Amino acid sequence: MAKVLYEEATRVYPGTERPAVDALDLDISDGEFLVLVGPSGCGKSTSLRMLAGLERVDGGRITIGERDVTHLPPRDRDIAMVFQNYALYPHMSVADNMGFALRVMKAPKQERDRRVRDAARLLDLEEYLDRRPKELSGGQRQRVAMGRAIVREPQVFLMDEPLSNLDAKLRVQTRTQIAALQRRLGVTTVYVTHDQVEAMTMGDRVAVLKDGLLQQVDTPLRLYQHPANVFVAGFIGSPSMNLAEFRVEGEEAVLGGTRIRLSRETLEALRKEGGDRLVLGFRPEAVDVIAETDADAEHRTFPVTVTVVEELGSDAFLYGQYADAAHPALLDQTVIARVDPNAPPAKGDRVRLRIAQGKERLFSAVTGRRLPP
């Protein structure tokens, strides 16, 4: 077990201009479950493969434990990797697949058998040890791939979207199992996914990447509550945060008839930046549905026409359109709000939403970075 350190690690693929991973700085502590998340093509797999030694590091350093592994071949890094397609060896039995690394290391046969059997018991694979990978279901193959990593007893687990080939239900089940297993084994783990729900539910910390650049790395809760920029705000959370550009007028942010008071710190930051606009975001659960007649009591409200209501049982979400005829330019804005699942509004209803006090998140319209609240 070991900590993992990326220091300005950079990868530029030959023939491309922009780095696929650009000066990545990540400090992963011993035993931590770190999730790399981001949209397709943001450099998650490349970052992971750099740690595995499957991709060259063109700049910066990577260390595992105290060892600088930047230029070591994969086999000298003491890691185990689970691939998206599992990469099970089709010509070997499940047992041979799981014991492969030990056989390469020339571990004594007895020990190899014992470790394979232990892992198989842990993963409920005992009855399949003699089968070939193609005789297994998708979920079983996934477990064999996990087993192959566990048997290794490595310093670090690397996993690249190991659940993406499973159906939705199995994915949810397996992600809890993997997280529990990791906690039990205590092996430092770097896990790649493009699914932010997976990231939030599994990771001790989550690193958000975009265009090869690290956007933010933090615990799931802090990422959710205090996104560092507009991208993270919009990417983390499902349904996603409502984001809209507001004008700054005096001490208020204004959009149509909605007015929100800004703090002195925010105004100060805006003044330094010289902008008269900002991006305001609020989560679907950060709004209250209020009676239409309360309209004038508060400025933090706006009218919405309900277009879709998603009822999930425990939750209900309203998808609506900004509905203030006095401001036709805004009519295309879609708003998502969580509403009382026991008394959801109906499609076509007109409701008024109020952004709860202190729940708005403010970002610079110029840089996208968070503004002081």
Partner 1 sequence: MSTSMTPPSSAHQRTTADQAVRGNGRAVTAAPPGVPQSPLEASSKRSRWTVAILLAVAMLWTLIPLVWMLLSSFKNRSDVTAATPQVLFAPTLDNYRNLFSGPNNLGPYIWHSVLAAGISALLALFLGALAGYGLARTRMRGKKHLAFWIISTRMAPIAAIVVPLFLIFRGLGLIDSIPGLVLAYLTFNLPFAIWLMSAFFAEVPPSLEESALVAGCTRWQAFRTVILPLTKSGLVTTFVLCLVFAWNDYAFAVVFSGPNSQTLPIAASQLVTQTGIDWGQLTAIGTIVVVPMMLAGLAVRRWLVTGLTLGAVTGE
Q: Which of residues 33-72 bind partner 1 (CB under 8 A)?
A: 52-54
Binds 134: which of partner 1, Mg ion, ligand ATP, none (CB < 5-8 Å by kind):
partner 1
Centroid of chain to Cα 285: 20
* Position 162 contacts partner 1 (CB under 8 A): no
Q: Name which of 49 and 171 has its Cβ closer to partner 1.
A: 49
Interface with partner 1 (CB under 8 A), residue from 1, 8, 68, 105 = 105
* Position 15 contacts partner 1 (CB under 8 A): yes
Interface with partner 1 (CB under 8 A), residue from 133, 147, 203, 227 = 133
Q: Do 179 and 33 meet the contact criterion of CB atoms below 8 Å apart?
A: yes
Q: Do 352 and 334 meet the contact criterion of CB atoms below 8 Å apart?
A: no
CB of 330 vs ligand ATP, minimal distance in Å: 34
Among 34-42, 87-95, 215-223, 315-323, which window interacts with partner 1 (CB under 8 A)?
A: 87-95
Q: Which of 4, 7, 1, 3 is nearest to 57 (CA)?
A: 7
Q: Do 95 and 108 meet the contact criterion of CB atoms below 8 Å apart?
A: no
Interaxial angle between packed helices 109-122 and 94-104, expressed in degrees from 0 to 180 and rounded to the nearest 10: 130
Q: Which of 91, 52, 81, 261 is nearest to 160 (CA)?
A: 81
- Cα(51)–Cα(286) distance, integer angstroms: 39
Which residues bind to ligand ATP, rule: CB under 6 A? 13, 16, 20, 38, 40-46, 194
Q: Name which of 45 and 155 has its Cβ closer to Mg ion.
A: 45
* Position 79 contacts partner 1 (CB under 8 A): yes
Q: Name which of 46 and 242 has its Cβ closer to ligand ATP.
A: 46
Q: Which residues contact 163 (CB under 8 A, 6 or more apart)?
A: 142, 171, 174, 175, 178, 193, 198
CB of 202 vs ligand ATP, minimal distance in Å: 16
From residue 353, alpha-carbon distances to 82, 233, 248, 287, 294 in Å are 46, 20, 21, 6, 10
Closest residue (Cβ) to ligand ATP? Answer: 45
CB of 219 vs Mg ion, minimal distance in Å: 24
CB of 158 vs Mg ion, minimal distance in Å: 12
- Cα(162)–Cα(92) distance, integer angstroms: 20
- Cα(56)–Cα(297) distance, integer angstroms: 61
Q: Name which of 61 and 132 has its Cβ closer to partner 1.
A: 132
List contacts with partner 1 (CB under 8 A). Answer: 14-15, 52-54, 73-75, 77, 79-81, 83-85, 87, 89-91, 100-101, 104-105, 132-134, 148, 152, 158
